[in-house]
Amino acid sequence: MAKRKLGRGVAVVGAGMSKFGCFPGYTSRDIFIDAYKDLLTTIDKGFEPKDIEAFYLGNYSSDLFEGQAHLAPIIANWIGLSPIPAVRLEGACASSSVAFREGMIAIASGLYDMVLVGGVEKMTDLPISAVTDTLATAADIPYEVSAGFTFPGFYAAMATAYMHSYGATPETFMKVALKNHFNGSLNPKAQFGQKISDVMEIKKASALKKGRAVPEWANEMEFLSDDRANPVIAWPMRLYDCSPVSDGGAALLLVSEELAYQFTDHPVFVIGSGAASDGALHSRSSLTSIPSAKLAANKAYEMASVSASDIKLAEVHDCFTIAEIIATEDIGFFEEGKGGIAAEEGQTSRTGSKPINSSGGLKSKGHPVGASGAGQIVEVWKQLRGQAGARQLDGNPDLGLTHNVGGTGQTCVVNIFERR
C-alpha cells in the first residue's frame, strides 16, 4: 500500500482550554465557551470568527452524562458560528482526537481553509456509580460488562498481566503517579494541581483539625502504599493510579499551511497522523499491549517521515498509570517490558530523555473524556512554541506526539506535530 500523506499542509494556529475539574451548575456549552475564549487569546495576529468554515466537536456521551444530545450545533450557535456545518464525533475517550483528524483531513483535502476543532465533557453531575456505568458503555457490553468488568477492572487486569510478564510491582505504577502529580502541580489548568507531598500535608492538617491521630508517613511512597490514604480500587490499581472524573473542554483552530503565517509567526504543523481500531479487550491474545496504538503510531511515523527516537515529548493516554507505561512501549519509545523500568529510572520525567505528560496527563490534569485528546494537543502546541510556563521543557523541543485511546484500545489516534 502506498505511503499516505496530506494533500496539503495543516497548521494549528490557536489552542485553548478551560480549567479541568468539577464545576457544579456548568453545562457542556458553558465549559466549551471557556475553552473557546482561551483559544481567542492565543492567536497572535487575531482572526475573524466568521472565517471559520466548519466545527468538529469530540464528545463521548453528553446524552447520558447530561441528558443533552446534538451538542455540536448547539455549541456552535452559542459561540456565534451558526449556520456553518457543526458535527459531533464519538470515539469514547479518543473522541476529540477523532474530531481533530476529521478537521485536519477536511483542510488537507482542500474542502475548507479554516476549521474549529474541540472536545468537551461534563461528567460530574452524575454519582460515581452512574459515571462508571456510562463509561462502561465503551466496552463490549455482552462479553465484558455483563461479566462484571468496569474500566478500573480492565486496567487492573492489564497491570496484573504486566507484572506477571515483566516483573513490575505496584511501586512501578506509583512512580508514574508521583511524576504526573508533580507535573500537574505546574499546570494552572490541572484538576489536581498538587504534588503527592502536598496531598500528604493536606491530609495531615485535616486530621489535626479534626482532633484525629496525625499520620506519620516517612515519604510519598509510604503514603501511596497506605491502604487508608490510597485505597485499592481494583488491585493493583489504587486511587492515585486512576484518573479523576472531570469536567473540561479544549479548542483548536486549524488552517491550511499557506494561510498559517497570517495568524501567527509561530504555527505548529501537523506532519503525521495515524488511527486504528481493534476488538475489545476480551478478544486479544495479550493484555500488555494495545495493537491499535502500535498501528496508529506506525502510520503517524511513516506519514511524518520520522521515528520514535526523533520525538522530543509526548502526551499519552494515562487513564490509569499502567496505561502510560504500556503507551510508551506501543509508540516505540521503549522496548516491550521496559516502559516500567524507564518510569522507575525517571526517563519519562520532565528532565528525562523522553518527557511524558508534562501537562500532568489525564492522571493529574484531569480526564473529561470527550476533551482529553484535544487537551493533549493544547499541551504539545504550547511546549513546541515555548509557552508552557513553569512546566516548559528544556531543549527547545521541535517535535511532539499525542497518543489518545478510546475504550480499552478499540480506537487509537496518534498525531505528530512540528515547530519549524
Question: Could you give phi then psi for residue 56, rounded to 5 degrees?
Answer: -115, 115
Residue 127: CB atoms within 10 A of its CB come to 10
Q: Is there a cis peptide before residue 83, judged by omega within 30 degrees of 0?
A: yes
Q: Catalytic residue, from 242, 367, 403, 412: name it.
A: 367
Q: Which of 93, 242, 319, 412 is catalytic?
A: 93
CA separation for the pair 293, 412 (Å, rounded)? 5
Tell me which residue of 24, 35, 251 sits closest to 123, measured CA to CA: 24
- Provide CB contacts within 8 A for 135, sequence distance 6+: 150, 151, 369
CA atoms within 13 A on the CB side of 26: 23
Per the structure block, which three cell numbers stand in for 104? 485536519
State yes or no: is 181 an active-site residue: no
Which of the 8 DSSP states describes residue 418?
E
Angle (deg, nearest 10), helices 151-166 and 170-184: 120
What is the Cα–Cα distance from 233 to 226, expressed in whole angstroms?
A: 13
The residue assigned the cell 498501528 is 295
Q: What gap in Å lies between CA 257 and CA 2, rounded to an integer?
A: 23
Rounded CA gap, 278 and 125, in Å? 31
DSSP state of 253: E
DSSP string of 77-112? HHTT-TTS-EEEE-BTBTHHHHHHHHHHHHHHTTS-
Task: Confirm whether 164 is a catalytic residue.
Answer: no
Spatial neighbors of 361 by CB under 8 A, at least 6 apart, are 180, 183, 184, 243, 315, 316, 318, 324
Pairing of strands 55-58, 114-122: parallel
CA 36 to chain centre: 18
Catalogue the active-site residues. 93, 367
